[in-house]
């Protein structure tokens, strides 16, 4: 019965997913292979092929299987994977998948390890969860795990913020930025923390906190035309123009107002105020 797996692997090694799908179709139609073996062959195809028409054929073939109750959820999942776009996400029933894995395997797949890390987090052990996720990421290099890791840092920081532990939150965010200096939500949250704790007399610190974020938002604003990042930049320039004006830091206010006018030339008040402070 392992032959369908072997032949699928062979076809995929020869870059021929169409013949692999053909064999799986015959197998499903004849009922000659066990459900789990057919699913395994389908997964081998899916791991190297995202062609929509082939994936659709696989989905149809799998829907002809007559799985036992214990295998039904696996078949559903593999069909969902067939219908999922490349880089997409699939809805997974946590308990059902856990039950299936517990019944069929002694090995712990990466997903269960990730869920264990999430469980640790939910028990208040954020640091332990981060450590486990780093271990998983270092062993598999999966980008989804990395994404989860970065979000775990963020969530740990949000928990500190909720308890008004601002220094601890900033430390966690800085640690995540050492691993990924383009983590925009972490940069943004850190900038907010720095700004809220910074008095008007420490204007240099404010500038430092926002500088990199503004650089990234500006690049994103150029790349994506839907204005989300432009609105953030406008909000930033307005906020700091107002603070610098209040502090009497005219030169710094000029820079903020000029940047604001540069991206929002219709703002008459900015122009009037800039003219007034340039007099």
Partner 1 sequence: MFSLDINPYEVLGISPDADVMEVRRARRELVLKYPNELFPERAQEINKAFQLLTSRDKRRMVDAFLRSKAGCALRVQKAFLSDEVYGDLFDYPDRAEVFELFKLEGLVQVDRNALIESLLSVLE
Residues numbered 60-99 forming contacts with partner 1, rule: CB under 8 A: 74, 77-78, 81, 84-95
Which stretch in 23-31, 58-66, 146-154, 219-227 sits in contact with partner 1 by CB under 8 A? 146-154
Q: What is the DSSP letter of 33?
A: S
* Distance of closest approach, residue 153 Cβ to partner 1, in angstroms: 10
Tokens of 263: 């991206």
Which stretch in 12-20, 22-30, 59-67, 117-125 sits in contact with partner 1 by CB under 8 A? 117-125
Name which of 92, 88, 42 is nearest 65 in CA terms: 42
The residue behind tokens 């032959």 is: 3
Q: Give the footprint of partner 1 on residues 157-216 (CB under 8 A).
A: 158, 161, 184-185, 188-189, 192, 196
Q: Give the footprint of partner 1 on residues 215-274 (CB under 8 A).
A: 231-232, 234-236, 238-239, 241-242, 245-246, 248, 250, 253, 269, 272-273
Question: Which of 19, 25, 76, 118 forms a contact with partner 1 (CB under 8 A)?
Answer: 118
Name which of 251, 157, 171 is nearest 207 in CA terms: 251
The residue behind tokens 């929002």 is: 264
**Alpha-carbon torsion, ordered 20, 57, 71, 141, to 10 deg:** 60
Query: What number of chain residues touch partner 1 (CB under 8 A)?
Result: 77
**Is 23 or 189 the residue whose CB approaches partner 1 more closely?**
189
Cβ atoms 92, 77 nearer than 8 A = yes
Question: What span, in angstroms and rounded, lies between the C-alpha atoms of 218 and 177?
Answer: 19
* Distance of closest approach, residue 86 Cβ to partner 1, in angstroms: 7
Which stretch in 10-18, 25-33, 56-64, 106-114 sits in contact with partner 1 by CB under 8 A? 106-114
Alpha-carbon distances, residue 14 vs 19, 22, 151 (angstroms): 10, 15, 39
């Amino acid at each position: 019965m392992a032959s369908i797996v072997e032949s699928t692997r062979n076809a995929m090694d020869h870059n021929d997913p169409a013949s692999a799908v053909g064999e799986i179709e015959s197998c499903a139609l004849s009922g000659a292979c066990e459900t789990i073996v057919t699913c395994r062959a389908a997964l081998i195809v899916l791991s190297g092929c995202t062609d929509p028409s082939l994936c659709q054929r696989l989905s149809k073939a799998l829907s002809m299987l007559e799985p036992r109750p214990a295998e039904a959820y696996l078949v559903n999942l593999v069909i969902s994977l067939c219908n999922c776009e490349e880089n997409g996400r699939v809805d997974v029933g946590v308990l059902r998948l856990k039950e299936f894995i517990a019944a069929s395997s002694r090995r712990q797949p990466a997903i269960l390890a990730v869920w264990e890390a999430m469980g640790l987090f939910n028990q208040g052990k954020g640091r332990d969860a981060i450590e486990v996720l780093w271990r998983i990421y270092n062993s598999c290099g999966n980008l989804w795990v990395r994404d989860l890791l970065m979000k775990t840092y963020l969530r740990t920081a949000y928990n500190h913020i909720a308890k008004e532990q601002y220094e601890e939150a900033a430390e966690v965010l800085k640690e995540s930025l050492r691993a990924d200096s383009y983590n925009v939500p972490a940069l943004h949250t850190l900038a907010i923390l720095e700004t809220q704790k910074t008095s008007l007399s420490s204007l240099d610190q404010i500038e430092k906190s926002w500088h990199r974020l503004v650089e990234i938002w500006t690049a994103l604003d150029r790349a994506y035309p839907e204005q989300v990042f432009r609105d953030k930049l406008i909000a930033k320039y307005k906020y700091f123009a107002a603070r610098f004006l209040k502090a009497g830091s005219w030169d710094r206010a000029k820079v903020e107002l000029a940047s604001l006018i540069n991206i929002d030339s219709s703002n008459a008040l900015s122009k009037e105020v800039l003219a007034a402070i340039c007099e």
